[in-house]
Amino acid sequence: MGISKEDEVFVSEIKSGNKMAFEAIVLKYQPKLMSALIGYTKSRDQAEELSQKTFLRVWQKIESFRGDSGLFTWIYRIGINLAKNDFASSHARSSKITDSLDQTDHDIPHHLSPEVELIALESEHRIMDFIQTLDADTKTAFTLREIDGRTYDEIAQILECPIGTVRSRIFRARQLILEFMNQENILNG
């Protein structure tokens, strides 16, 4: 895919120390990065912190950017790697996703009884907690596909692995989630 002409100019300017070009890149890509990081971490605060770390790393490592991929792909990869490292060092895996469930829209029909809504919400919490227990590679691939809506090609590029590996990780995540749902009797209500 490669880098766009506009981003190529920005990168050249940033490599020359132009802080305004760097600010332009931040303004251009931070909203997309934040969206992805919120999808990954389920915490706006954590996503903001990771976003700041990501752009700091971009500033520090811009010399290593070769332009083989799009600039956002490179930035995204840095952000996801920082998130994975943060996730691996944190022992509070289940709290990452449940902290923000109250801020998300739920696919629970409003005409259901309060008891049924509560059961559905509890089931959703249990599933999201389970997703947090998946190994980092499986969780990342699944999150990029199911939460961020990325294509398999995009995920392969971001994770720097073959598309077959991406498909395998996503299939495995779905399989594990279904097994969990069966064990917890979530599918049968």
Q: From first to last of its 189 residues, what are the pLDDT tens digits of the chain?
A: 578 899 999 999 999 999 999 999 999 999 999 988 888 887 888 889 999 999 999 999 999 998 888 899 899 989 988 888 776 655 344 444 444 344 444 444 445 566 666 776 777 778 888 888 899 889 889 888 887 788 899 899 888 899 999 999 999 998 898 888 888 887 654
**Domains of the chain: which residue ranges?**
1-90, 92-189
Query: Domain 1-90, what fold?
Result: Rna Polymerase Sigma Factor; Chain: A (1.10.1740)
Architecture of domain 92-189 in this structure: Orthogonal Bundle (1.10)
Instruction: List for the chain the helix, strand, coil content (%; round to 5).
Output: 75, 0, 25
Q: Which two tokens stand for residue 164?
A: 């077959």
What's the farthest any 2 CA atoms get from each other in the chain? 62
